[in-house]
Structure 1
Amino acid sequence: MSGPGAASRASRPGRVPSLRWRVVAAVALLLVATNVVVGAVTVVAYRGYLVGRLDAELATAAGRTPGGDDPGGVPSGPPPGSSGSQDPENRFIGAPGQAADTVVAILRDGDAVLAGYTDSAGEQHRLTASQRAVLADVTPDADPATITLGALGTYRAQAVTRGGDVFVTALPLGDLQASIVRLVVLVGGVTLLGLVLATWVLALTVRRSLRPLERVAAVASDVTALDLERGDPDIPVRVAPADLRANREVGQVGTALNRLLGHVTRALTVRRDAERGMRTFVADASHELRTPIATVRAYADLSRSSDDVDDLHRNAERIGTAAVRMGDLVEELLLLARLDATALASGPAPVREDVDLTALVVEATVDARTTAPDHRWVLQIADDHPLEVSGDTVQVRRVVTNLLANARTHTPAGTTVVVSLQEVPGDDGALVRLVVANDGPPIEADVLPTLFDRFTRGTASRSREHGTSGLGLAIVRAVAAAHGGTVRVASEPGRTAFTVDLPAAPGRADGYAAVTDGRGTR
């Protein structure tokens, strides 16, 4: 048996990705999407939290800006372009409690009379005209806004009106943005590391989970390598029970494959048996026809070489007897062929009419008593009205005559043959049961299972001695099946009984009963 991995690789068409990697890729994409969403929500929430804290600090810083009640105390500072300090006493710029790089501006009549910041070294710096213009655009007494002050970067600014002047305070967003960047890098790194680890673990898990499925595929591949045309129809490979219990999905596939292989095995066995039966059938039919054909040829040759009229008549009589035998055999073969076609639904349906089985049984029993007076014939009919079945009269009559002929031919003189007919209940309605029993020698036990097969004989030499073809009981079974009935046999020392059950006709008129007491009928 080839390895499951090789079978799996061999079964991959072209460059189509394997199921394993498609599952891994799908789960990896889902993990990436989930982590991206979670990371984005985390970053946004964290930034909102930091901005909220910064706005709180900004409100506190704006509230600490001095000089709101003394506009005249606001220094005008050096003229624009001067390198000197605007607020040498640090009353506004770099006032106690202000953080480094805090920008402060005082606007009067839309002009900045004071604008600057103190760096971490305590040195005071002025703002450029463009930076002052940005501060002048901040809406007074509104919520904090984010502004960009050129080279200084991004700030969070708030303007408060006091005593006719507008005091603008701005805190840098650099530390906040650096924190956000660190968080993004951290989330991205964790996401990447988690993705790599999850993909590795998932690939191993999926590979382990799909190994039973690969072994199921290997079983299917092994079946394709078997020579089912000429080899044993029994398929030896099956999905192992351990793989059936691996998981529900693989168990379902494996169970379905095992059932399929079982059906294929049974179909191949039936085909093999049918082919063997057909070969046996052809051989037996050829053998049965060969004897009368040889007889015809022999007596035809004798007739050509003889001038004796009596010999010619005797030869013609024997030729006629052989021809009758051949004709009967051909008729029986044709009947079986028609019944087979009906069973396969490829031939015409049998004629359906009400058949008086009571009259047929009485007639056939009287004929049997006449042709075999050395047997004792007993007829038993339980009902007081005719028992009718639905079917073809000719075929139903053949069932009765074949069973009686079988009893007459294969039992010695003095045997009692009891023919009984009665109505019995069935699963789908009433049945008419015909039983032909005799007290002659039992049928060999090894013959019983195949007794209704074609060309089956209890004792071949005895059958040929009586001129039987071995098709009578096969016809009985085929006709019974075509009429929706069954036939069975039970044989033991002292009693052999053939039982035929046929569906009763839907409507039956009251009639008569016939009972025989051995030799006669009344």
Structure 2
Amino acid sequence: MGSGRGRAGAEAGARAGAEAGAGRVGSGRAPSLRWRIVGAVALLLVVTNVVVGAVTVVAFREYLVGRLDAELATAAGRVVGDGGAPPSGSSGSGSSGSGSSGSGSSSDGPDPDNRFIGVPGQAAGTVVAVFRSGSTALAGYTDSEGRQHGLTTAQRRTLAAIDHDGSPVTVRLGSLGSYRAQAVGNGDDVYVTALPLGSLDATIVRLAVVFGGVTLLGLAVATWALALTVRRALRPLERVAGVASDVAALDLERGDTDITARVATSDLTANREVGQVGTALNRLLGHVGRALTVRREAEAGMRTFVADASHELRTPIATVRAYAELSASSHDLRAVHANVDRIATEAVRMGDLVEELLLLARLDARTLAGSAPLVVEALDLTSIVVEATMDARTTAPGHRWTLEVDAEPVTVDGDAGQLRRLVRNLLANAASHTPDGTAVVVSLQRVRGEGQQTVRLVVANDGPPIDPALLPTLFDRFTRGEASRSREHGTSGLGLAIVQAVAQAHGGSVRVVSGPGRTAFTVDLTHTASSGPSPAQ
């Protein structure tokens, strides 16, 4: 049997280990909480930085375009206001031309006199075009060295298509790139001025590159710092998980009932969430430890109970067997009759013991189930106490019995047989464990309360006090005075255990107070007035 229990415990331990291993494998496959947090925060940082960068770049470009538009308006005003009348004809027609390698004399380019193209204060790369009645009067630009260049037909068409309402627009002038252009009408003449967007676009690109680089660098640093921070923050949680794993590794089926593993106080105060989990785990481990301790004590008590019951039954069984053998070998009828009487006495004793054990088992079962006693009815407890006291006077005439009861009958709701046994056991206990001449006072009275009344039964005597060392276990089963197995008074050691079980089954309690000159057993039963007998349970 022991080896079977050991094998069962080993199998349970193997199953627990397999489950723990499966948990570890599963946790290895799934992303850890730490990296999930780091990934989520990193993704949030990327999205935030991209949005902020995009908004910044767009806003800064709009700002630069606004400044360029202001410069464009100034340049256009200078062209219209300072250039005078445009030349007649289409001097700027044809392909893009270039002047000589000199510094740009007045005889070179589409505007030799620099009246519109290359005027003082005009920035390099500024495109100027003048259209008269839909035809190009001149169109060109100056480079960084001051040389004039003409525009291609496609470029002139692009400029001619611009609305001359004075609003800046962005146009693409072929190989020259993007420009901000403004067309202003003056009679039949249309003056178009355009400034290059190349440097502005280059600035925006550099800004975007710098912003992206800083974002990547910041993301790397933030991810590293966040990983360390989350790891430190989750370290207490890992220790909590370690405590749970240590407890799961215990072989509780084999008797490892001492659960000493607990979450440390430093981890409970690390942060609120881990503290809540750790506190709940500590509380759970405490409950489990107490439950295992109770189970171990219950098993030990059951083993003791079975051993005591076997011991109690062994003696009468041996006595019956011995007298039966004597009767079988004896030819004396008087001896045989005496032996039969002795066998009957022992049989009655065994029957009483078995009946008491069955009663305790039934009371235990109904108490654990939260059920009421076997039969509940309105009882006259006064008559039961009077009858039991009269019987005690007959069976123990050497004691001085005194009965104190109220004039009005005291009623309770309960089981008549069980309450009668309770009273008789208390009186038998007083008669069995005190010498002749002891005064025994039996009193029954009501104790008023709010909405209910308590019926109090007291059995007191002035005999020798009970050993103080015996008081904590006095109501345990098979407990006898002076912890002996003597059968001088024929007691089984179950009388007071039955008294306590019956009192608890009726929602009451029993207690004892013992000292020199007085020992008193007090039973309190709570009674709620009822109009009649209750149905059997």
TM-score (norm 1): 0.91
Kept in 2, the 8 Å contact 1:76–1:86? The answer is no
Cα deviation, residue 13, structure 1? 2.5
SS in 2 for 1:355: strand
Equivalent-residue separation in structure 2 for 1:285 and 1:67 (angstroms): 127
Aligned to 2:341: 317
- Are residues 427 and 115 of structure 1, via their aligned partners in 2, closer, same or farther at CA, if it must alter by over 3 Å? farther
Kept in 2, the 8 Å contact 1:68–1:163? The answer is no
Letter in 2 for 1:167: Y
Equivalent-residue separation in structure 2 for 1:44 and 1:191 (angstroms): 17
Aligned to 2:440: 417
Equivalent-residue separation in structure 1 for 2:256 and 2:83 (angstroms): 111
2:78 counterpart of 1:51: no
Equivalent-residue separation in structure 2 for 1:223 and 1:230 (angstroms): 14
Cα deviation, residue 135, structure 1? 0.9
Cα deviation, residue 462, structure 1? 6.4
- Gapped regions of structure 2 (runs ≥ 5): 1-19, 98-107, 533-537
Aligned to 1:436: 459
Letter in 1 for 2:429: N
- Are residues 505 and 357 of structure 1, via their aligned partners in 2, closer, same or farther at CA, if it must alter by over 3 Å? farther
- Are residues 289 and 364 of structure 1, via their aligned partners in 2, closer, same or farther at CA, if it must alter by over 3 Å? same
SS in 2 for 1:358: helix
SS in 1 for 2:242: helix
Cα deviation, residue 327, structure 1? 0.6
2:521 counterpart of 1:498: yes
2:228 counterpart of 1:214: no
Cα deviation, residue 350, structure 1? 3.0
2:156 pairs with one of 120, 124, 132:
132
Kept in 2, the 8 Å contact 1:480–1:487? The answer is yes
Kept in 1, the 8 Å contact 2:445–2:456? The answer is yes
Kept in 2, the 8 Å contact 1:338–1:347? The answer is no
2:44 counterpart of 1:21: no
Aligned to 2:360: 336
SS in 2 for 1:470: coil
Letter in 1 for 2:53: G
Equivalent-residue separation in structure 1 for 2:78 and 2:394 (angstroms): 140
Kept in 2, the 8 Å contact 1:284–1:455? The answer is yes
| Equivalences for residues 117-156 of structure 1 within 5 A | 117-156=141-180
2:47 pairs with one of 3, 14, 33:
33
Letter in 2 for 1:484: G
Equivalent-residue separation in structure 2 for 1:427 and 1:113 (angstroms): 117
Equivalent-residue separation in structure 2 for 1:114 and 1:247 (angstroms): 78
| Equivalences for residues 42-441 of structure 1 within 5 A | 42-66=56-80, 71=85, 73=87, 76-77=90-91, 79-81=93-95, 83=97, 85-231=109-255, 233-345=257-369, 350-381=374-405, 383-426=406-449, 429-441=452-464
Question: What do the CA deviations read for 1:134-171 (whole angstroms, capped 9, x no partner)?
Answer: 11111111521111111111111111101211111111
Question: What do the CA deviations read for 1:356-380 (whole angstroms, capped 9, x no partner)?
Answer: 1111111111111111111111112
TM-score (norm 2): 0.89
Equivalent-residue separation in structure 2 for 1:438 and 1:11 (angstroms): 71
Cα deviation, residue 224, structure 1? 2.4
Equivalent-residue separation in structure 2 for 1:38 and 1:79 (angstroms): 48
- Are residues 281 and 135 of structure 1, via their aligned partners in 2, closer, same or farther at CA, if it must alter by over 3 Å? same
Letter in 2 for 1:13: S
Equivalent-residue separation in structure 2 for 1:198 and 1:322 (angstroms): 89
Cα root mean square deviation, aligned: 2.3
Equivalent-residue separation in structure 1 for 2:127 and 2:86 (angstroms): 21
Equivalent-residue separation in structure 1 for 2:83 and 2:484 (angstroms): 142
Cα deviation, residue 102, structure 1? 0.9
- Are residues 495 and 378 of structure 1, via their aligned partners in 2, closer, same or farther at CA, if it must alter by over 3 Å? same
Kept in 2, the 8 Å contact 1:388–1:508? The answer is no
Kept in 1, the 8 Å contact 2:243–2:262? The answer is yes
- Are residues 68 and 137 of structure 1, via their aligned partners in 2, closer, same or farther at CA, if it must alter by over 3 Å? farther
Question: What do the CA deviations read for 1:150-200 (whole angstroms, capped 9, x no partner)?
Answer: 111111111110121111111111111111111111211121111111111
Cα deviation, residue 80, structure 1? 2.0
Letter in 1 for 2:42: A
Aligned to 2:473: 450
Number of residues paired by the alignment? 503
Kept in 2, the 8 Å contact 1:67–1:74? The answer is no
Kept in 1, the 8 Å contact 2:96–2:152? The answer is no
SS in 2 for 1:64: helix
- Are residues 293 and 136 of structure 1, via their aligned partners in 2, closer, same or farther at CA, if it must alter by over 3 Å? same
Equivalent-residue separation in structure 1 for 2:274 and 2:506 (angstroms): 45
Kept in 1, the 8 Å contact 2:73–2:182? The answer is yes
SS in 1 for 2:79: coil
Equivalent-residue separation in structure 2 for 1:89 and 1:278 (angstroms): 124
What is the identity percentage for the equivalent residue pairs of Structure 1 and Structure 2?
A: 70
- Are residues 156 and 427 of structure 1, via their aligned partners in 2, closer, same or farther at CA, if it must alter by over 3 Å? farther
- Are residues 429 and 34 of structure 1, via their aligned partners in 2, closer, same or farther at CA, if it must alter by over 3 Å? farther
Cα deviation, residue 280, structure 1? 0.5
SS in 2 for 1:452: coil
Cα deviation, residue 293, structure 1? 0.9
- Are residues 232 and 411 of structure 1, via their aligned partners in 2, closer, same or farther at CA, if it must alter by over 3 Å? farther
Question: What do the CA deviations read for 1:419-439 (whole angstroms, capped 9, x no partner)?
Answer: 111222457732111111111
Equivalent-residue separation in structure 2 for 1:318 and 1:219 (angstroms): 64
Equivalent-residue separation in structure 2 for 1:427 and 1:251 (angstroms): 44
Equivalent-residue separation in structure 2 for 1:55 and 1:426 (angstroms): 97
- Are residues 349 and 441 of structure 1, via their aligned partners in 2, closer, same or farther at CA, if it must alter by over 3 Å? closer
